[in-house]
Amino acid sequence: MTERWTYEGFEMVVGLEVHVELDTATKLFSGSANRFGDDPNVHIDPVTLGLPGALPVLNARAVELGARIGLALGCTVQACVFARKNYFYPDMPKAYQISQYDKPLNIDGRLALSDGTVIGVERAHLEEDTGKSTHLGGSGRIHGSEGSLIDFNRAGVPLVEIVSRPDIVSPDQAREYVSELRAILVAIGASDARMEEGSMRVDANVSVRRPGEPLGTRCEIKNVNSVRSLGRAIDAEARRQVALITAGESVVQQTRHWDEGDGRTHALRSKEDADDYRYFPDPDLVPFVPSAEWIDEVRSALPPLPAKRRAALAVLCGVAADTEAVMTVVERGQDAYVAEVATHGADAARALVHVKEAFAELGARPGVPASDLAALVAMESSGAVTATQAKTLLGDLIDAGGGDPAALAAQRGFEAMDDGELVALVDAAIAAEPDAWQKYCAGEDKAMGALVGHVMKASRGQADGKAVSALLVSRRS
């Protein structure tokens, strides 16, 4: 993970701006519902539509979630002011966006990656979302459209914009930053943060330079819809910039769209006029000044963050924190469940594997009582059932929402095979498959397959595959 990206002697410098939609019932400055997928223009009010005479009133829960995000990222939560960002666009009902400018809610945070690298978080502030436009005619893209239709349901939905420092040095690092950020946002209940659904949007600021040189001109990349695309887009953009510079041209500061189809970024039609947003404090709103007590309350209500939970699960199971099993189980919120299984005396590492493999669809509170899974794991650990049999029984437990593994094993006729039976079966297989045996003894490990297969068939699947292999290995030598 600490590998820097390099290409033709250049390195990349990347900062990410992540917008997340907050999980609130209503919009940031008005009481219309914050809901996705309903008929167009049903969640509307004077503020949402920018009607004459409309006035904004700040949503208490949005502020709390905003502070939660800041605290989870180690930010300082401070007195803040809302500012108007003035520009014209059809999905902007007031022709200004209420955002935060020089006094944002959260500043100076950090996000640690799994290898210990720390990416700085400059700020995380509150702002309102815009409406949504659909473009008519042709490709459905803005360019060459015949007109557009605007739906203001989304206008005014609360967003937090999280701005990283330009500390990211590779596409993989960018992807990990976003994945970890997402895990944090989900863990603290601030947002469901799904890039594919638009509740988390990532823009990347990318520049390149030769090591030791000052920062190059950066371009902003938009329209990235998945974590995987993010990596590809950053890589493609950096290479584009390197090619320009090595050809003797300069990088023009601009906004570019990522095109998933052709794997390139494209300049948007450049605006003739530079943006002058004329930020000023919104006179319709008053400052939010959090008290130390309020900040403490929000902080103490924070659940344990993913990094901490991964570490705890890793220690419990005796594995490394960055293994796929640990990461996946924590991401699903099933780490507490694994810990509960372990409290019943079962082997945590084994439980972890089962949960990782079989519980993908089951959510944070799987329907299988922890004690039942613990009993199954105990049977497996003692050899009462084989690993294969345990998998089958686990399927039964999931289907039935629990049960007694011992009883289920008996029902299926799973009994541990004793050593004598196993030896007899192996002997029979060797006798039945002389060619395979010969090849196996000659060193062709693959030939074992036919022998094991014979044993499994003869035992109707009840033999322990691992034990069979072990016997064959020892027989050969």
Q: What element of type H or E holds 434?
A: helix 434-441
Binding of other proteins by 253 (CB under 8 A): no
Q: CA-CA distance, 359 to 352, in Å (whole number)?
A: 10
278/308 with CB nearer other proteins: 278
Among 71, 92, 326, 327, binds other proteins (CB under 8 A): 92
Other beta carbons within 10 angstroms of residue 228's beta carbon come to 13
* Residue list 11-30, contact with other proteins (CB under 8 A): 24-26, 30
**What does the alpha-carbon distance between residue 233 and residue 302 come to, in Å, rounded to a whole number?**
34
Cβ nearer to other proteins, comparing 60 with 470: 60
Is residue 278 close enough to count as binding other proteins by CB under 8 A?
Answer: yes
Instruction: Indicate whether 130 belongs to the interface with other proteins (CB under 8 A).
Output: yes
65-84 residues near other proteins, rule: CB under 8 A = 84
Based on CB atoms, which residue is closest to other proteins, 62 or 373? 62
Residue selected from 2, 4, 8, 31 as contacting other proteins according to rule CB under 8 A: 31
What's the CA gap between 53 and 284, in Å, rounded?
Answer: 11
Task: Pick the piece of the chain touching other proteins (CB under 8 A) from 89-97, 172-180, 237-245, 364-372.
Answer: 89-97
* Piece of 147-155, 376-384, 421-429, 468-476 that binds other proteins (CB under 8 A): 147-155
Cβ-based nearer residue to other proteins, 233 or 329:
233
Kindly state whether residue 101 participates in binding other proteins, applying the rule CB under 8 A: no
Closest CA to 16 of 123, 132, 97: 123
Tokens 């990235």 identify what position?
Answer: 224
> Per rule CB under 8 A, is residue 140 in the interface with other proteins?
no
Q: Please count the residues of this chain forming the interface with other proteins, following the rule CB under 8 A.
A: 75
Question: 185 near 20, Cβ under 8 Å?
Answer: yes
Q: Measure the CA–CA gap between 418 and 295, rounded to whole angstroms.
A: 63
Is 225 a binding residue for other proteins by CB under 8 A? The answer is no
Length of the chain: 477
Cα–Cα distance for residue pair 93/272, rounded to 1 Å: 23
Q: Does 198 bind other proteins (CB under 8 A)?
A: no
Residue 301 interacting with other proteins (CB under 8 A): no
Residues 1, 112, 118, 142: which binds other proteins (CB under 8 A)? Answer: 142
* Residue from 255, 381, 388, 469 in contact with other proteins (CB under 8 A): 255
Smaller CB separation from other proteins, 23 or 237: 23
DSSP 8-class letter at 86: E
CA distance 114 to 183: 13
Which residue stretch of 5-13, 68-76, 139-147, 208-216 sits at the interface with other proteins (rule: CB under 8 A)?
A: 139-147
Three-state DSSP state, 256: strand
In the set 32, 106, 173, 207, which binds other proteins (CB under 8 A)?
32
Q: Give the CA distances from residue 185 to residues 178, 328, 331, in Å, rounded to whole numbers and listed in that order.
A: 10, 16, 11
Residue among 243, 236, 242, 231 nearest 263 (CA): 236
Name which position in 289, 301, 428, 470 contacts other proteins (CB under 8 A).
Answer: 289
Alpha helix locations (H) across 262-404? 292-300, 306-317, 324-331, 335-343, 348-358, 370-382, 387-400
Select the residue interacting with other proteins from 13, 17, 40, 225 (CB under 8 A).
40
CB of 34 to other proteins, least distance (A): 9
Contact 186, 193 (CB under 8 A): yes
295 binds other proteins (CB under 8 A): no
Ranges within 390-419 binding other proteins (CB under 8 A): none
Interface pick for other proteins out of 15, 70, 93, 171 (rule CB under 8 A): 93
Q: Where are the beta strands (DSSP E) in 210-331?
A: 219-224, 255-259, 264-267, 280-281
